[in-house]
Copies of this chain bind each other. A is one copy, B any other.
């Protein structure tokens, strides 16, 4: 796989975003992504997660296909970033509120 598919910004749905955020593991992962240094590979992020790597990969895909994250292939690792601009345009204030709520 060379290219990774992402939904266009205007196809991101509220229900889809909510579903992606309805799992504790994905909320945890999203928190890690938000904390990460820019360009930090996702293998670093998943270190404290007690889940099989294929399960983590599955969660990454759900987040990406919901429009929450953008995945960039860099060698044999991937860099994952939040789609902050797209999300804030489509659902203003939602992502910051979620990120603030994750560490409660």
Q: Chain B residues near A18 (CB, 8 Å)?
A: 18-19, 21-22, 27
How many monomers of this chain does the complex have? 2
B102 & A93 in contact (Cβ 8 Å cutoff): no
The count of chain A contact residues (Cβ–Cβ below 8 Å) is 21
Chain B min CB distance to A8 (Å): 15
Asked if A94 is at the interface of the complex by the 8 Å CB criterion, the answer is: yes
**Contact status B102-A92, CB under 8 Å:** no
Contact check, B91 vs A14: say whether CB atoms are below 8 A apart.
no
Bound-state Cα–Cα, A15 to B59, Å: 14
The smallest C-beta distance from A60 to any residue of chain B, in angstroms, reads 17
A89 to B100, CA, bound (A): 12
With a CB–CB cut-off of 8 A, which chain B residues contact A19?
18-19, 22
10 contacts between A and B (CB under 8 A): A14-B104, A15-B23, A15-B24, A15-B27, A18-B22, A19-B22, A91-B100, A91-B101, A92-B100, A94-B101
